[in-house]
Amino acid sequence: MYAETLKLIATFAERQPSPVLPSRLDPLFRRLAATTLPIEANQTEDRIWELWMTHPNAAAARVLDRAATDIAARLYDIAETRLATLLRALPDFPEAWNKRATLYYLLERDDDFVRDVHRTLQLEPRHFGAICGFAEVCLGRGQRDAALFAFRAALRINPHLTEVQKTVADLDCGSFGTAH
């Protein structure tokens, strides 16, 4: 699943997002890539996340929000149950897959995480958060080249990810994980 997910990341620019996603995302991604103003980048990124959390079914968006609250409160079993139920009802909801992937990341269930990130990226190829999470898991597994590739892809979508920029710079100069 790791290699297949890397292929999805490699082709993100060629693939279309799920029609369930609001078309208002398209100009936001263009603005995010083009702006040089940090405040505009932050506001645009926040708006993208808000739209990812929405769904044409308002009840589904409320369930997703409750699951995110459960994750923040470390009520992982409840969050997993909510997300599993939501995904059975709406398997085309990219952010529901991403939230469950986040839960699996926190639980260090890497294979489950990658499976859900894969589905997230099938539905929303521009999901820089999912791509960064995938890169982190690759890095944790010692897959430096895969991690670097994924981090760079995330930066092509959102060049304002300062921590990712630093990580890429460290990986490029070979100092990642060493004392400075």
Contact indicator for 8, 122 with CB cutoff of 8 Å: yes
Q: How far apart are CA 134 and CA 150, in angstroms?
A: 7
Domains contained in the chain, CATH given: 2-172 (1.25.40.10)
pLDDT per residue as tens digits for the range 66-93: 999 999 999 999 999 999 999 999 999 9
pLDDT at 180: 39
pLDDT above 60 (res 178): no
Name the pTM for this structure: 0.94
pLDDT above 90 (res 141): yes
Report the chain's C-alpha Rg in angstroms. 16
